[in-house]
Amino acid sequence: MKTPILAALALATATLLPMQANAQDDWFVRVGPVTVNPKSGNGTVTIGGSAAAVDIDSNTQLGLAFGRYLSPNLAVEVLAATPFHHTVSLNGAETVDFKHLPPTVSLQYYFLPDAAFNPFVGAGLNYTWTYSESVDAIGIGNSWGLAAQVGAVIKLGEKMDLVLDARWADIDADVQLSGAEIGTANVDPLVYGLTLGFRF
């Protein structure tokens, strides 16, 4: 499990550090509540020959994003957060809880870098690491997937911003029961953030 996380962090570090930025404030940090809202209907699993509908609830945690402007219009951002906690229901009955971390690396384009309201879009790669399943016999796999983002930066001051954004991530996790694969959870969440940003 650790190898993909280290690979994602190495990729982010290699992308962020060597490039020469042109913006006055090269680096930024953004912190605030982030909600992971899985799509309705998260696939099916087969238990004892019968299919069961999978549903995963939403959860809000403290998000932390850091990044670097490569130019006034381009930036690279890494999204992290405190662990998200979700409950999985099968055919409407709560069955298993689990936690996950969803580090996401995105390349962003900012349309109006000199304006007080600066919309942006982003695209990148998500890695979702799941762990701490509450039922020992049930295992939920990790996932690599593409991610997309849209948002806006509202300048509050010389070095401070309010950032609103929404992301979509392609998350498909294999589900196992006692080591045997029983289906796939198609999570594909929308991720909403309202963060306070600091430029330096």
- Asked if 140 and 16 touch (Cβ cutoff 8 Å), the reply is no
CA 200 to chain centre: 24
Distance CA 41, CA 26 (A): 41
- Asked if 86 and 48 touch (Cβ cutoff 8 Å), the reply is no
Q: How confident is the model over 77-131, as pLDDT tens digits? A: 999 999 999 999 999 999 999 999 999 999 999 999 999 999 999 999 999 999 9
Which pLDDT value is given to residue 169? 96
Q: Calculate the average pLDDT of the chain.
A: 90
Closest Cα partner for 181 from 134, 128, 131, 138?
138
- 7: phi then psi, degrees, rounded to nearest 5: -65, -40
- Asked if 122 and 191 touch (Cβ cutoff 8 Å), the reply is no
Which pLDDT value is given to residue 48? 86
State the sign of the Cα–Cα–Cα–Cα dihedral 73, 75, 80, 86.
Answer: positive
CA 94 to chain centre: 24
Which string of DSSP letters, residue by residue, matches 6-74? HHHHHHHHHHHTTSPP-SSS-EEEEEEEEEEEPPS---EEEETTEEEEEEE--EEEEEEEEEEESSSSE
The domains located in the chain, with CATH, are 2-199 (2.40.160.20)
- 117: phi then psi, degrees, rounded to nearest 5: -120, 110
Q: Is 36 exposed, middle or buried (0-12, 13-18, 19+ CB in 10 A)?
A: buried
The predicted model gives 13-27 an average pLDDT of 56
Which pLDDT value is given to residue 19? 46
Tokens at 105, concatenated:
């690396």
Q: How confident is the model over 134-170, as pLDDT tens digits? A: 999 999 999 999 999 999 999 999 999 999 999 999 9
- Name residue 85's amino acid: H
Q: How confident is the model over 30-73, as pLDDT tens digits? A: 999 999 999 989 999 999 889 999 999 999 999 999 999 999 99
- Bin 91: left if φ > 0, else alpha if -120 < ψ < 50, else beta: left
- 58: phi then psi, degrees, rounded to nearest 5: -90, 165
Bridge partners (DSSP) of residue 101 are 129
